[in-house]
Amino acid sequence: MAGTQSFERAVLLLRLVAHQHREGARLAELTRAAGLTQPTVHRIVMSLVAEGLVSQHPQTRRYHLGQMVADLGLTASMSYDSLDLYRSCVARLASDSEDTAFMSKRSGLDMICVERRAGAHPAKAFVLDVGVRRPLGAGASGMAVLSTFEPVEALRILETNSRAIAQFESWTIKDISTLMAQHTREGYVLRDHEDTDVRTVAVPVRGVQGTGVATFSISTFRARMPMERVPEIVRMLKREAAWVENLERNGSP
């Protein structure tokens, strides 16, 4: 149906703008990532601008999320009271590891970083800023959540997100899919960032349906997180994930 297709395309472009919100997305980048014609992308983006969901910087001409998105997010946040719970977990992880701890939540086909806390160690690895969105399948947190899904569903999400993932990952969808089985067995994801010497370990937080709804992760430089230290980090992350899962399932820690 034409109406449904237009809506789906608008949502896709809104997500793609969100992925590049801080730097801003060019029309050509959106066109390439969406796999649509430039006139179609321009028409839809202009509709989003008219509704305040997207804004365009007058000098750079790059597109960013609009004020209406912030207003809607503020209204929606009033319905959710679990963020303080996650924040306390991230604070413990940063304190215990002395490294940088993160919490990301699943948002549809994306992950969004909602909390970051730096530990006491002077070497800081700020691989994500709060508010940054990445497609499911990109990065340690996205892979950790996907590893909790049935293989067929995980592959479907990867294929749906393939163009968006390509903006952040050099790996192919086949490469990522192959890793899913290993991650599922181990219960965590370890990723070495390709452009830095930073290592990240992420553990999924499962919802009542058994699939991942969030992740806890710790990032630091590889010299500070050699492979022999990884089991200690994994234990910390799994401890907090289990605490949250138990609390949300039973109403008490």
Q: What is the pLDDT of residues 129-155, one digit of tens each?
A: 888 889 998 889 999 999 899 888 999
Sorting pLDDT into bands at 50, 70 and 90, what band is 219? very high
Say whether both 140 and 157 belong to one domain: yes
Cβ(103)–Cβ(215) under 8 Å?
Answer: yes
Q: Are residues 191 and 144 in the same domain?
A: yes
Instruction: Please list, residue by residue across 139-155, b when 16 or more beta carbons sit within 10 angstroms of its beta carbon and e when fewer do.
Output: bbbbbbbbbbbeeeebb
Instruction: Give the single-character DSSP code of 35.
Output: T
Please report, as a single letter, which amino acid is at residue 116.
R
> Are 140 and 207 members of one domain?
yes
Give me the number of domains the chain comprises. 2
Whole-angstrom distance, CA of residue 139 vs CA of residue 131: 15
User: Are 70 and 90 members of one domain?
Assistant: no
**Tell me, what amino acid is at 158?**
L
What sign has the CA pseudo-torsion 224, 226, 232, 237? positive
In this structure, are 19 and 129 located in the same domain? no
Does 183 or 158 have the greater pLDDT score? Answer: 158
Task: Kindly report the average pLDDT of the chain as a whole number.
Answer: 86
What is the model's pLDDT at position 77?
A: 56
pLDDT tops 50 at residue 127: yes
Residues 214 and 129 in one domain: yes
Q: List the domain range (segments joined by +) for residue 221.
A: 80-250
221 and 120 within one domain: yes
Query: Among residues 57, 75, 93, which one ends one of the domains?
Result: 75
The reply to whether 123 and 224 lie within a common domain is yes
Instruction: Determine the average pLDDT of the residues in 96-116.
Output: 92
Domain finish residue from 48, 75, 102: 75
Closest Cα to residue 47, out of 63, 70, 36, 71? 63
What CATH number has the domain bearing residue 118?
3.30.450.40
72-104 pLDDT per residue, tens: 765 555 445 567 778 889 999 999 999 999 999
- Spatial separation of the C-alpha atoms in residues 15 and 176, rounded to whole Å: 21
Taking the CA atoms of residue 203, residue 90, residue 199 and residue 141 in that order, the dihedral angle to the nearest 10 degrees is 40
**Sheet containing 100-107: order of strands:** 133-135, 110-117, 100-107, 212-221, 198-206, 189-192
Q: Look up the CATH number of the domain holding residue 51.
A: 1.10.10.10
Helix (H, G, I), strand (E, B) or coil at 20: coil
Residue that wins the pLDDT comparison between 217 and 11: 217
What value does the mean pLDDT take over residues 218-241? Answer: 95
The reply to whether 136 and 195 lie within a common domain is yes
Verify that 117 and 60 share a domain, yes or no.
no
Write phi, then psi, for 126 (nearest 5 degrees): -90, 75
Question: What's the confidence (pLDDT) of residue 224?
Answer: 95
Residue ending a domain, choose from 35, 59, 75? 75
CA within 13 Å, CB half, 130: 11
Is residue 115 domain-shared with residue 226, that is, in the same domain?
A: yes
Q: Which band of pLDDT confidence, cut at 50, 70 and 90, is reported for residue 183? A: confident
190 & 239 share domain: yes
